[in-house]
């Protein structure tokens, strides 16, 4: 057959639409996506026929190609993944996952009308701030509280409200960058506050702040150095001393606390992190933190502090632009409620549960999973376990080495990079680490309900079935 004859075998899209396989595709997917997939697959088949005189048209192959293309087109861009990295608050993978109760509350509020801004007792308009304020006050001891879109927004709004057109005094050791897009100096500039840097990178003394205070000072800012530590010849001014100075000179003290720790993590063997409540107890006039780092809730920025300051913030024009939506409020309220019983918080809030799971528990799960993969893959790979380190992530607890046991997968026929790629691209995607040419799976961040599909996918990927 000459090339023209072979090309004439290629079907028209309209003909393919009557094929039973394609009819099934049309039942499950929008017509535009099916047509697009078919056209692309026909183009691929045509290119193959043109590329070699031996190539023949294969209808089954074309339909299989269209099917793969269609499932990729139909897949939601934002879709669920399995995090097998052992990095708990993984910023790229969505930081904290919500508890079951919080997830249920989101679905409930998303699909119903609600009390978002409605006071059922009076039958009149209410405020969206009420849902979380009392809980935040109970959990931190603060007089008043509010929540906005994220902590970057909280810091920006607080600085704008307290120091726009004025000066904000901050230690040079605390001019931090968090995750590339949040830099204290940039946020300060955008807020309209003039940054007054004091001290040196490694040491700042109380006198440095004292000497910088003028009649133009709007706020003394303290920033938690979330994702790094300065070690050696260092000094920071304790919050209590900064507060005493602020009181003496009539300047409010605002602490950006970062991670949002509500309970003392030392009780579970983790390093000390100041809690939001401790900052309030130390006298901070305003404290901000993230909702989705160690707090383990939805993306949010939490502000707690003096009633007069929070009142001013609620009325600030930025508060309207940065306000939380009802689904986030639902998740935040339920997450905060869970903290009323710290044992329940530990058991139910995935971020807390994951970072505190004892290594023995992870090891036992890892051994079982390794054995299941060995059995399922039938000798295609060497699968064992080894001690390793998990991380809190999200710039939290940067120095904490959380001991873990990883499952290691090594194959003679498929490289670790190829295994990692296949696991990442399949469904459900599994994100793993590579170390010393081995694929590592850390079950600390894998839900027990996800283990079965991890075994199936690893075995399939090793067998070259995916």
Ligand X SMILES: *Cc1c(COP(=O)(O)O)cnc(C)c1O
Residue 71 in contact with residue 429, Cβ under 8 Å? Answer: no
In whole angstroms, give the CA distance from residue 187 to residue 324: 20
- Contact between residue 368 and residue 448 where contact means Cβ atoms under 8 Å apart: no
Shortest spacing between CB 52 and ligand X, in angstroms: 53
Q: Among residues 41 and 151, whose Cβ is nearest to ligand X? A: 151
Contact positions vs ligand X (CB under 6 A): 150-152, 155, 178, 182, 223-224, 226, 256, 258-259, 290, 301, 395
- Nearest residue to ligand X, using CB? 258
Q: Beginning with the edge strand found earlier in the chain, give each strand of the sheet holding 402-410 in spatial order.
A: 382-390, 402-410, 438-442, 433-435
User: Do residues 297 and 150 lie in contact, with contact meaning Cβ atoms separated by under 8 Å?
Assistant: no
Nearer of residues 256 and 450 to ligand X, judged by Cβ: 256
**Cβ 207 to ligand X, closest distance in Å?**
25
Name the token pair of 312: 């001013």
Integer Cα distance of 209 and 256 in angstroms: 17
Return the number of the residue (37 or 161) whose C-beta is nearest ligand X: 161
d(CA 76, CA 195): 43
Which of 38, 61, 37 lies closest to 49 in space, CA to CA?
A: 61
CB of 126 to ligand X, least distance (A): 26
Q: In the complex with ligand X, which residue's Cβ is closer, 397 or 439? A: 397
- 228 or 268: CB nearest ligand X: 228
Question: Shortest gap between Cβ of 318 and ligand X (angstroms)?
Answer: 14
Tokens of 89: 């608050």
**Least distance to ligand X, CB of residue 55, Å:** 53
Query: What are the DSSP E strand ranges found in 123-216?
Result: 124-125, 144-148, 167-171, 177-178, 182-183, 194-198
Min separation Cβ 249 and ligand X, Å: 24
Q: Which two tokens stand for residue 41?
A: 């697959």
If the CB atoms of residues 66 and 260 are measured against ligand X, the closer one turns out to be 260
């Amino acid at each position: 057959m000459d090339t023209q004859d072979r090309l004439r075998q290629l079907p028209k899209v309209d003909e393919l639409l009557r094929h039973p396989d394609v009819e099934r595709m049309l039942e499950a997917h929008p017509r535009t996506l099916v047509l697009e997939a078919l056209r692309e697959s026909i183009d691929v088949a045509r290119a193959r026929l043109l590329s070699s005189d031996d190539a023949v048209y294969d209808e089954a192959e074309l339909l299989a190609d269209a099917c793969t293309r269609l499932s990729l087109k139909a897949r939601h861009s934002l879709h669920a993944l399995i995090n097998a990295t052992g990095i708990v608050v993984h910023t790229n993978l969505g930081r904290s996952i919500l508890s079951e109760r919080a997830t249920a509350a989101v679905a409930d509020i998303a699909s119903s009308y609600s009390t978002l801004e409605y006071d059922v007792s009076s039958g009149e308009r209410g405020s969206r701030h009420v849902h979380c304020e009392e809980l935040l006050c109970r959990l931190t001891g603060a007089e008043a509280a509010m929540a906005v879109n994220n902590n970057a927004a909280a810091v920006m709004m607080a600085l704008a409200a307290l120091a726009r057109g004025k000066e904000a005094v901050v230690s040079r050791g605390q001019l931090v960058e968090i995750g590339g897009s949040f830099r204290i100096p940039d946020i300060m500039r955008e807020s309209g506050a003039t940054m007054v840097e004091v001290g040196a990178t490694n040491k700042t003394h109380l006198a440095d702040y004292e000497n910088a205070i003028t009649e133009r000072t709007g706020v003394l800012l303290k920033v938690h150095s979330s994702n790094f530590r300065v070690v050696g010849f260092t000094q920071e001014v304790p919050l209590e001393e900064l507060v005493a100075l602020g009181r003496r000179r009539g300047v409010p003290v605002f602490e950006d606390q970062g991670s949002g720790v509500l309970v003392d993590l030392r009780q579970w063997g983790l390093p000390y992190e100041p809690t939001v409540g401790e900052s309030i107890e130390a006298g901070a006039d305003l404290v901000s933190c993230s909702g989705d780092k160690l707090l383990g809730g939805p993306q949010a920025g939490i502000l707690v502090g003096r009633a007069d300051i929070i009142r001013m913030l609620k009325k600030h024009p930025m508060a309207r632009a940065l306000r939380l939506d009802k689904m986030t409020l639902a998740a935040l309220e339920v997450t905060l409620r869970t903290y009323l019983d710290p044992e329940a918080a530990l058991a139910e809030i995935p971020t807390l549960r994951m970072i505190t799971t004892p290594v023995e528990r992870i090891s036992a799960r890892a051994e079982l999973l390794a054995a299941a993969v060995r059995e399922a893959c039938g000798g295609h790979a060497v699968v064992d376990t080894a001690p390793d380190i998990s991380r809190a992530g999200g710039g939290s607890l940067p120095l904490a080495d959380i001991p873990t046991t990883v499952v290691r997968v090594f194959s003679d026929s498929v490289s670790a990079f190829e295994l990692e790629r296949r696991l990442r691209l399949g469904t459900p995607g599994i994100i793993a680490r590579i170390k010393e040419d081995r694929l590592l799976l850390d079950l600390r961040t894998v839900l027990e309900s996800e283990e079965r599909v991890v075994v199936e996918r690893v075995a399939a990927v090793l067998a070259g079935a995916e």
